[in-house]
Structures are given as structure tokens and as C-alpha cells.
Copies of this chain bind each other. A is one copy, B any other.
Amino acid sequence: VSTSPLPSPAPARRSRNRRGEGDRLRADIVATATELLEATGSPEAVTLRAVARHIGIAAPSIYAHFPDRDAMHEAVRDAGFVDLIDQLDAATAGTPESEPVRSLHLGCRTYLRFAEDRPNLYRFLFGPEVKAGPGTADGQPAGGHDLESGLRAFQILVDGITACADQGRSASTEPWTDATNLWVALHGLALLHDCVPLFPWPERGEQVDQLVRSLGRLQP
């Protein structure tokens, strides 16, 4: 019926895990839920039934690994943050300490490439989870979920600017504040880019570099 790769259920039925390997299904669930999210862009489409269909299991099987749908979503978010931080770590780990400017640019470009490559996942990671009280229909952004993970990624940015300032390559006197501004700008760029694609955007790499220079107060 559908020709797109993911939303059509897997044809074959998944073979049952051997004893003691039940946790493999958990990993499959998170991976499939993530793919589904990336393909559809909407968390509401990542239902227990849809995930089960694509894996080739019965829907109730998910309950062995997650208490409910929200827990599954949270697992997707957690795994996504791990991916993001891994990529940032990998990108900045390769650069020598003697080149903090290059390292900072690299980090920011990597951040943006992640958001560019996986826009729907990125939006989900930083999107607001509405948590509604039982029986109530009103929702407030939960906020603070994964604050730890976010702060860890953010610290990379602060360290980058600090390193530049230490070597006289940046005029920043408040790296934390400047890093905040830079993060904010990268976030906005990532989201607006894939939300208003028809806008006459400047060349992307150049725009990132410009933001890094301006907000990181890099010397010309």
C-alpha cells in the first residue's frame, strides 16, 4: 500500500529471543520507536501498536519492557540525547587543545549537522513534553527533563569559548552567558531551517560560522 520504507509494517514476524536475551527486544523497541518518530515527525504517531507492528510483535509485548507509552517515549528521548552527546564528544575529542577556535567551530557545526540530519528527532529532544494531570486536559511544558544531559552538552560549548578566551582568540569575559547566546542561536537556526525551508537562507556553514564569531566574540 505505502511505498515509504518505514511506515509499512515489517512483513515477516520477528523470531523470538532466546532465554536471557529478553532485553534485546527493549533495544529493538527504542530503535523502532526512534525510526518511527524520525519518519513521521510526530510523537503521537509513535504508538505502542505502530511500534509493535513494525517490529513484528504483538502490542502487549511492549509492556514487559515499558510500563506505558510515555515511558517508551522517554526512552527514545534518552537514547537521542546519548547519540547527540556522543557525536559532540567525538567531534571535539579529535581536535588538539592548541586550536580552540577550530574546535569550537567544529562542535557547533556538529551540533547543527545532528539537527539537520535528524530534524524530527532533534525537535523531539528539545520539544516540550506536556504532562497533564490525571483527568485534566491542561498541559504545561514539563521542562527540566534531561536537564543533566543538556547541561553536559552545553558545558562543551562553555569550555570551548573559555579556551578561546584563554588564548586571546575570544573577547569573551562571560563565557557562560556567551555560550548561552550561542546555543540559543544554534537552536533557532536548526529549527527554523527545517521549518521554513522556502526562506532564502544564507549558505548554512557560513551562517553557523558567523554566529559563532559574533556570539563567541571571536577576534577577526
Contact B185 A41 (CB under 8 A): no
Residues of A in contact, count (CB < 8 Å): 57
A193 to chain B, nearest CB (A): 8
B residues near A194, Cβ cutoff 8 Å: 128, 141, 143
Contact A2 B137 (CB under 8 A): yes
B residues near A143, Cβ cutoff 8 Å: 194-198
A10 to chain B, nearest CB (A): 14
In this assembly, does A211 line the interface, its C-beta being within 8 Å of a C-beta of chain B? yes
B residues near A141, Cβ cutoff 8 Å: 41, 119, 194-195, 197
Q: How many copies altogether?
A: 2
B residues near A188, Cβ cutoff 8 Å: 183-189, 191
Knowing A143-B195, A181-B185, A192-B187, say if A138 contacts B201 (CB, 8 Å): no
Complex Cα spacing A94 to B177, Å: 32
The 4 closest A-B pairs by CB, nearest first: A188-B188, A7-B137, A144-B198, A187-B188
Q: Can you list 17 A-B pairs with a CB-CB distance of less than 8 A?
A: A6-B138, A7-B137, A39-B138, A39-B139, A40-B137, A41-B128, A41-B141, A42-B139, A126-B191, A143-B194, A147-B196, A150-B196, A180-B207, A184-B207, A187-B188, A187-B191, A188-B189
